[in-house]
C-alpha cells in the first residue's frame, strides 16, 4: 500500500526516546514534517543514515521543519541508540501495537517485524507532499529529500 501524494497523512501518536508522546497533528499549522522510517536501531545502514542527518540537522529540523525518525524498536532501545549517537531529534518507538504506524504508512514488513526505509514529507496542513520507499538494504539519498523539503 502506498499513500497518495496530496492526501492527508495518517495521524499518529508515539513515544520518543524519553517517553514523551509526539503526534503528527501537533505540528499542523506550525511546521512541515519529515517522517523517516528505518528498520532497526544499531544497524550499520540505519546508523549511517541517521548520523548523516544528525551531521546536517539544520536541513531537516529547524524553525520550519521537524524530523521524526521511527522504528519498531522499544523506547528503551531508542533512548540508548539516540544517546550513543548524539541524536537530538525525536526517535519514536512504533513498538506497540507493534508496527501500527508503519502499517498505516505502508512500510511495515511483517515477516521481519520492522519497517522498511520510507521517507514521507508532510506539509504544515498535514498533506503528504513527497514520499520514497526503499528496500531494507537500500540506503536513501539524503540529497533527494533535502530537495523535496526545499520545494515546500
pLDDT digits (tens, 9 = 90+) for 42-57: 987 888 899 999 999 9
How confident is the model over 77-115, as pLDDT tens digits? 999 999 999 999 999 999 999 999 999 999 999 999 999
* Grid coordinates belonging to 51: 548520523
Q: Supply the CATH number for residue 78's domain.
A: 3.40.30.10
Judge whether 51 counts as a catalytic residue.
no
Contact 120, 3 (CB under 8 A): yes
**pLDDT surpassing 70 at residue 1:** no
Number of domains in the chain: 1
Range of the domain at 58: 13-150
Q: Which helix (H) or strand (E) holds 68?
A: strand 65-71
Statement: residue 61 has pLDDT above 70? yes
Considering the domain boundaries, does residue 105 fall inside one?
A: yes
* CA–CA dist 127, 144 (Å, integer): 19
Beta carbons of 87 and 68 less than 8 angstroms apart: no
* Active-site residue, selected from the candidate residues 46, 51, 72, 114: 46
Amino acid at each position: 500500500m502506498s499513500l497518495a501524494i496530496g492526501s492527508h497523512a495518517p495521524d499518529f501518536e508515539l513515544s520518543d526516546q524519553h517517553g514523551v508522546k509526539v503526534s503528527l497533528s501537533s505540528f499542523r499549522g506550525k511546521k512541515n514534517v519529515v517522517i523517516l522510517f528505518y528498520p532497526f536501531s544499531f544497524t550499520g545502514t540505519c546508523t549511517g543514515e541517521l548520523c548523516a542527518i544528525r551531521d546536517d540537522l539544520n536541513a531537516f529540523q529547524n524553525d520550519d521543519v521537524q524530523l521524526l525518525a521511527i522504528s519498531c524498536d522499544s523506547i528503551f532501545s531508542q533512548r540508548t541508540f539516540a544517546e550513543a549517537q548524539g541524536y537530538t531529534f525525536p526517535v519514536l518507538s512504533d513498538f506497540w501495537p507493534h508496527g501500527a504506524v508503519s502499517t498505516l504508512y505502508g512500510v511495515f514488513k511483517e515477516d521481519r517485524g520492522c519497517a522498511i526505509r520510507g521517507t514521507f514529507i508532510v506539509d504544515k496542513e498535514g498533506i503528504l507532499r513527497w514520499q520514497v520507499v526503499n528496500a531494507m538494504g537500500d540506503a536513501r539519498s539524503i540529497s533527494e529529500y533535502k530537495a523535496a523539503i526545499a520545494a515546500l
